Structure 1
Amino acid sequence: MEFISPTEFAKKKIQSVQDYSILAAQSVLNLFRPPHYWADTVQQMDLIGFGSLQIVLASVFFTGAALALNSATTLSRFGATTVIGQLVSIGIVRELGPVLAGLVVAGRNSSGMASELGSMIVTEQIDAMRALGTDPMKKLVTPRVAATVFMLFFLTILGDFMGLLGGSFVAGLLLGLDAHEYWSNAWQTLVFSDVFMGLMKPLVFGFIVATIGCYYGLSTKGGTQGVGRSTTEAVVAAMILIIVVDVFVTRFLMVILGS
């Protein structure tokens, strides 16, 4: 393993942050600049949204079921099992639904973007696009960013419902609670700030997933081995950023909403 001095390491990291920031900014600005590659965007929406749908729904469903089951174990000691719907509702809508959906899409699609764009770098397809006068940022990056943000938003909504359904399954069939009471408590406990927070997070997470995947893909070096390395780094970076940024987004929205 080659030794890198702390100064050189810091320079590389600062350069990486700068390059990523430029890519992220350009991906947003390109939304307002022609040409717009709508066909590519729709294709990416299909790959990202419908390709991840089953995994997201299953993940959040069983998470909601596990949350209800664990909550019941504790609440039964105090005779308060009727509030399980409230706990599952708050936990899924505010936190677990958006984060789980983001992590699933990061694992499935951030890696796919990195490997696809990395392969195009290695085979010099990106250089060929530039030679033909096509901007790779507009053609490859912006459609992926727009599609990921858009589809993760709706995946989170569907995932939230499946999480509540998983909690209802456990509460009704395994714990013997009244289904009407569960759904009534789950619905009544939600306020505007809960729903707003739960719907803002996937917009941020989707942007992170797409830009990280595209950045590592376009930064690929070293042939086929570099593609594999970029793919791994993209998944790890996207997942870590989702978890870290979630804390700051939650705190920011709590201050803004006064909750």
Structure 2
Amino acid sequence: MEPASSTRQRGGTATALRIVRQNFSDIAIGSLRTFGRTVDLGVETLRGAATDIVGRKFQWREMLYQAWYLITVTALPAILMAVPFGVVVSVQVGNLIHQLGADSLLGAAGGLGVIQQGAPIATGLLLGGAGASAIASDLGARTVREEIDALRTMGINPVQRLVIPRVAAMMLVAPLLNILIIFVGIVAGYFVAIGAQNVTPGSYWATFGAFTVLADVWISLAKALLFGFLVVIIACQRGLEARGGPRGVADGVNAAVVLSVASIIVVNLVITQVVTMFLPIRVA
């Protein structure tokens, strides 16, 4: 006969594997359900915004108030992030191309790095950090105080009353913040190039204009808009589903920030690959 210890060991291993498999399946199913609810919220928000604009019921005052709040919490950090980013691109790329004897190409490298990648990613991260946390905490606090349930009891759609103005505000602020980061990053890289890399101003702007085309700017703005939409929808969904008092609000804020950053990185990778396939870098 087989020893009892071996039987117990095999039984414990089987139980552990069953628990791990069950937890993994629960997490996967729960993630898919959360993703589905987020998509439903996004579709409902877009449909409701279009209906409100056509029916002249859009909350312009609330949208402008939320937009101003987002600007106040992201404008200064955007400048502080854009300056070192432009400097780092100029220094690192400048050292490389200096060894190749192509110092005049620093303008093209700095422009493409800031416009195509740096500005939209920085915009998304700022909105995901400052904007998403503020929106998730606000809606989460309203949810745990049962204000959302009170709105539904009074026949008021919380998506129409709370979500749509915040989405519109984020879509307004995202491209403005992206343009600010582009301007500050390029200016910072320019001064570093002509001051520390011994690049002439004429060659810097000549290569910048030769390799950076208008399509790059439009793609950067489109990416900023998409990142802003992802951030605000995730933040609103996490806030509206907050449960368990202040701890639940804190968990919702944390989840909103983490999911926003992760989604921005993944979506940016996909967009970069698609753009590289259909719009490769070329001299204007």
Return the TM-score normalized by structure 2: 0.86
Q: Which amino acid aligns with 2:146?
A: E
For 2:82 and 2:149, locate their aligned partners in 1 and report how far apart those are by CA, in whole Å.
41
SS at match of 2:243: coil
Q: Which amino acid aligns with 1:17?
A: F
For 2:206 and 2:75, locate their aligned partners in 1 and report how far apart those are by CA, in whole Å.
27
User: Could you say which residue in structure 1 is the equivalent of 2:214?
Assistant: 192
Q: Which of these residues, 20, 36, 47, is aligned with residue 38 of structure 2?
A: 20
1:61-210 matched pairs, under 5 angstroms: 61-210=83-232
8 A Cα contact 1:110 1:234, kept in partner: yes
For 1:135 and 1:19, locate their aligned partners in 2 and report how far apart those are by CA, in whole Å.
16
RMSD after superposition: 1.8
User: Could you say which residue in structure 2 is the equivalent of 1:46?
Assistant: 68
Structure 1 residues 50 and 183: CA distance shift in structure 2, 3 A: farther
The yes-or-no answer on 1:10 pairing with 2:28 is yes
**Displacement, 1:29?**
0.7
Q: Which amino acid aligns with 2:119?
A: G
Q: Which of these residues, 246, 252, 255, is aligned with residue 274 of structure 2?
A: 252
* More displaced 10-residue stretch of structure 1: 245-254 or 119-128: 245-254
Q: Which amino acid aligns with 1:195?
A: V
**Displacement, 1:176?**
2.8
What is the percentage of aligned positions where both structures have the same residue? 28
**Displacement, 1:258?**
6.4
For 1:104 and 1:179, locate their aligned partners in 2 and report how far apart those are by CA, in whole Å.
31
**Displacement, 1:132?**
2.4
The aligned length equals 258
Q: Which amino acid aligns with 2:168?
A: A
SS at match of 1:45: helix
User: Could you say which residue in structure 2 is the equivalent of 1:237?
Assistant: 259
SS at match of 1:5: helix
**Displacement, 1:58?**
1.9
**Displacement, 1:208?**
0.5
For 2:60 and 2:176, locate their aligned partners in 1 and report how far apart those are by CA, in whole Å.
19
Q: Which amino acid aligns with 1:247?
A: L
User: Could you say which residue in structure 1 is the equivalent of 2:4?
Assistant: none
**Displacement, 1:151?**
1.0
**Displacement, 1:224?**
0.6
**Displacement, 1:247?**
1.3
Q: Which amino acid aligns with 1:224?
A: P
* More displaced 10-residue stretch of structure 1: 104-113 or 178-187: 178-187
Structure 2 segments unaligned to the other structure (5+ residues): 1-18
SS at match of 1:36: coil
* More displaced 10-residue stretch of structure 1: 62-71 or 168-177: 168-177
**Displacement, 1:257?**
4.3
**Displacement, 1:110?**
0.5
**Displacement, 1:175?**
2.2
For 2:92 and 2:132, locate their aligned partners in 1 and report how far apart those are by CA, in whole Å.
32
Q: Which amino acid aligns with 1:98?
A: P
For 1:258 and 1:90, locate their aligned partners in 2 and report how far apart those are by CA, in whole Å.
12
Q: Give the greater-gyration-radius structure (CA).
A: 2
Q: Which amino acid aligns with 2:36?
A: Q
Deviations 1:115-137 (A, max 9, x none): 11101011111112222222110
SS at match of 1:84: helix
Return the TM-score normalized by structure 1: 0.93
* More displaced 10-residue stretch of structure 1: 19-28 or 178-187: 178-187
